[in-house]
Amino acid sequence: MLIEGGYKYQNTGSVYYVSASSNPGKFYFAVVWQSLIVCVSFYFGFVVKLKEATKEDNNNKP
């Protein structure tokens, strides 16, 4: 939803909408945080997994 220019969340029954114009600090922090999570997930999901698979293949060679 950040791509659409904002996001919304619920807190104790109220729905809040955050956009770059309404609360720029919170919005840009969310953009940076989501980008960091994507990078970390990609690293542990693909890069480390490929390194481990390559290591296992090298250990199984005669």
Give CA–CA dist 6/21, Å, rounded: 9
3-state class (DSSP) for residue 38: helix
Band of the pLDDT at 56, cuts 50, 70, 90? low
Distance CA 58, CA 54 (A): 6
Number of domains in the chain: 1
**φ, ψ for residue 48, nearest 5 deg:** -65, -40
User: Which pLDDT does position 3 carry in this prediction?
Assistant: 61
Instruction: Convert the pLDDT of each residue in 5-44 to its tens digit.
Output: 788 888 888 998 888 888 888 888 988 998 999 999 988 8
pLDDT score at 36: 94
Domain boundaries, position 32? 2-59
